[in-house]
A and B are shown apart, each in its own frame.
Chain A
Amino acid sequence: MDGAGRAGVVIAGAGQSGFQAAFSLRTEGYDGPITLIGDEPHIPYQRPPLSKDFMAGKMDPDSLPLRPESFYEAQRIELRMGERIEAIETAGRAVVLASGERLPFDSLILATGARNRRLTVPGAELPGVCYLRSVDEAVAIQERLEAARRVVIIGGGFIGLEMAAIAAAQGREVVVVEAQSRVMPRVVAPVISAFFQETHEARGVRFAFNAAVTELRGAASVEFAHLSDGSMYAAELVVVGIGVVPNMELAARAGLEVGNGIRVDEYLETGAPGIYAIGDCAWHPNRFAGGLARIESVQNGVDQARCVAATIAGKRAPYDAVPWFWTDQFDLKLQMAGLSSGFDEVVVRGEAASRRFSVFYFREGKLLAVDSINRPGDHLVARKLLVAGVEITGAEAGDPGFDLKTAAASRT
């Protein structure tokens, strides 16, 4: 589509989703102006390694950017880093920056992401109480970790466990505080929670379940974490990983519908024509969730960016991608395909003792999701099964002699 001479596309947010939208607009043949606006000072970079190889010091920091600076020039993508959008004029088709500058658009893509949920207990503002989302925050944690002997991690989700694995591997004393009775409670079956807990404990990580932090204390910086069960842990570093909240205030101020994120339809378009929302901030209809969902993942951001880019380039199609996620902890790679919430049957394929197995989740006999530990082949096949809606039974999933790949190919 020829967009020359027009106002073009403005992308609000330069994370993985915003970057991908700009990238895919060009690969889809969109030729008009593209402006990518982000409030961090850095060119768009990958977030997953921040709690994995980058945090562990196993990655060249220069490999963090999604593309080199030269890419944007060559692709005629205008980068506006360190800038914030203050307002959207939905009728006037323009955004207004904090500086007062007004940028007109034909299409606006809101990729504003999410921000960390903050701890609000007494002492939460002490130095040494850290959060992880940006690279600057990751570097701050690295520096604290270097000098710390004891680390308390609040939240037993992906971020908390990835941080726990890195800190434990570096010889730190680590305690993970989790409000529920097992790790990753909202995303995986108990069999996987138990397996990951055992692995962490074998490497020295301790857990405080059914507990919350009630107060953090320290003089110049954090020294102690007090828990609701009356226990107390000394720590030179506290990392808080208790979830995120979507950045939707800009959309709300513009009169766009918001709820658990910015409300969009199956084309990821808001109630205002030509204004879209993608990634962590998008509250969208998702058939794998059986309703409206807001999904925080690289896959969701990337695939939604591609979908909207195709629409803007004239190839309109609804969003319909299988959700997938991954986490790396010690020598374990956990890969998740589909959304397992609401399952009524769990089938294990392989032996947990072998440290390579998959868990299949069913509801009323229908496959919902597959979580794989060190079995990437199962994961890739699961994505194919789920996207095509291929029916397999629990008995087949649990039978090591049953060939999933053949089923995926022959039953579609």
Chain B
Amino acid sequence: MSFFSKKPKETVSVTYVSHNGAVREVAVPVENTVMEGAVANNIEGIVAECGGSCMCATCHVYVDEAFLGQLEPIAENEEEMLGNTAAPRQANSRLACQLKLTKALNGLRVTTPPNQQ
């Protein structure tokens, strides 16, 4: 584990709500993605098969409406991937690997769909 950085990082709070209502609130470093935060905290419901390359559409989440306006807009590649998610796309659908956390997103709440594949 010699190379994995050990320096303390600034974090924000992210809440992951599963489709059946289970709630987990965790601290995720700023600059990490919502997908990385899920993987690092063993959140079920985010598969992230490609490791965040916007390849697989298996990190689909529904973003709490209050935060929608503060997210980076949907880029062309993400837009196309969102057209192919396993669970239905909604107005608040995003791919968690494309959501980089900023301090402004402290308290972000996302819900994972019942299926990713």
Contact = CB atoms under 8 A, between A and B. Distances in A.
Q: Taking chain B's interface residues, is the majority helix, strand, or loop, or is none over half, making it mixed?
A: loop
Interface residues of A, number: 36
Interface stretch (B14-22, B74-82, B108-116): B74-82
B36 A63 contact: yes
Interface string A38-69: 00011100101100100000001111111110
A63 B81 CA distance: 22
Interface in B26-41: 29, 31-32, 36, 39-41
Given A41-B1, A60-B36, A374-B76, A71 B55 contact: no
Contacts of A64: 4
A380 interface: yes
B23 interface: no
B84 A380 contact: yes
B52 to A, nearest CB: 8
A48 B51 CA distance: 8
B55 A376 contact: yes
A74 interface: yes
**Chain B CB within 10 Å, residue with most, of A71, A335, A376:** A376
Contacts of B32: 60, 63
A135 B3 contact: yes
Contacts of A52: 53
B42 A43 contact: no
25 contacts: A41-B1, A41-B2, A43-B1, A49-B51, A60-B29, A61-B5, A62-B4, A62-B5, A62-B29, A63-B32, A67-B42, A68-B41, A68-B42, A298-B49, A302-B49, A376-B54, A376-B55, A376-B77, A376-B81, A377-B80, A377-B81, A377-B84, A380-B84, A405-B83, A405-B84
